[in-house]
Amino acid sequence: MAIEEVAKENIEEKIPSHVITLNMYRQDKSLNEIAEERSLKITTVQDHIIKCFLEGLEVNLEEFIPQKYRDIIYETIKNIGAEKLRPIKEALPDEVDYMAIKAALCKL
């Protein structure tokens, strides 16, 4: 087999990074554990989960939106708009993280 064919096979068999992250999450690893094990930033891990959802993979984003803050998150997004995350974050309680906001935006 030619070197080019071997390289092509390896590329085709490679699992995308965001899917690896999702598989680890499905194995009950926290986002922080995944970030540490994969040497990724937590924001990268969060973005991987969101990307999987947007690609149609089965992800329950409700898990990332604290029930206690759901209404206020959606209301804040409605009032401020969804163009930028920072103004939304600044208007919400400190306990609401960016992942909750990103997940809520995907659910709209």
Instruction: Please tell me the pTM assigned to this model.
Output: 0.81
93 and 107 fall within a common domain: yes
> What's the rounded mean pLDDT across residues 4-30?
78
Average pLDDT along the chain: 90
Containing structural domain, residue 8: 1-59
* Number of structural domains the chain divides into: 2
Which whole number is the average pLDDT over 56-81?
96
Do 6 and 33 lie in one domain? The reply is: yes
Whether 79 and 46 share a structural domain: no
Q: What is the mean pLDDT of residues 97-102?
A: 96
**Angle at 105 (CA atoms; ends 79, 44), nearest 5 degrees:** 130
Same domain for 70 and 84?
Answer: yes
